[in-house]
């Protein structure tokens, strides 16, 4: 985490450790945990690119949205809390969704 904080401050890790208090480091930690799900201009660019590619490959182009291609990450704590069955169900739904976008149907 120190490398990410130092990168944001444009300092070396040693310099960042010298000038940041434990309280400020905890605030940075909380911010950087949330930042992983902030969408940046590049995210929208690549999501639009993927949506356009899928629209060219399918006949259901009216149902495709850029938001479908923006990835939402979960934190490590959330992932640990998620039970094995929930992960399997989430993976199954995700697989059905993406294959459905390409017009591929799966059994089960």
Q: Does some domain include residue 28?
A: yes
Range of the domain at 78: 41-101
Q: Is residue 108 part of a domain?
A: no
Tell me whether residue 6 is in a domain. Answer: yes
* DSSP per-residue codes, 8-19: HHTS-HHHHHHH
Q: Are residues 30 and 47 in the same domain?
A: no
In a domain, 12, yes or no: yes
Q: What is the pLDDT of residue 15?
A: 92
Q: Evaluate whether residue 10 is within a structural domain.
A: yes
Whether residue 30 sits in one domain with residue 7: yes
What's the pLDDT score for residue 108? 58
Q: What does 43-95 look like in DSSP terms, one character per residue? A: HHHHHHHHHHHHHHH-S-GGG--GGGGPPPP--HHHHHHS-HHHHHHHHHHHH
Could you read off the pLDDT tens digit of each residue along the chain, which spans 108 residues? 888 889 888 999 999 999 999 999 989 888 887 776 667 788 888 888 988 888 888 777 677 888 888 877 766 667 677 777 787 888 888 888 888 888 887 775
- Same domain for 51 and 97, yes or no, is yes
Say if residue 51 is in the same domain as residue 91: yes
State the CB neighbour count (10 A cutoff) for residue 22: 7
Global pTM reads: 0.41
């Amino acid at each position: 985490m120190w490398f990410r904080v130092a990168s944001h401050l444009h300092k070396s890790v040693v310099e960042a450790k010298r000038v940041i208090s434990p309280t400020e480091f905890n605030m940075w930690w909380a911010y950087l945990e949330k930042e992983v799900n902030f969408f940046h201009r590049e995210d929208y660019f690549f999501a639009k690119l993927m949506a356009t590619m899928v629209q060219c490959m399918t006949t259901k182009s009216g149902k495709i949205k850029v938001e479908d291609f923006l990835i939402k990450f979960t934190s490590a704590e959330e992932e640990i809390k998620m039970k094995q069955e929930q992960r399997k169900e989430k993976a199954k739904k995700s697989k059905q969704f993406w294959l459905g976008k390409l017009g591929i149907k799966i059994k089960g």
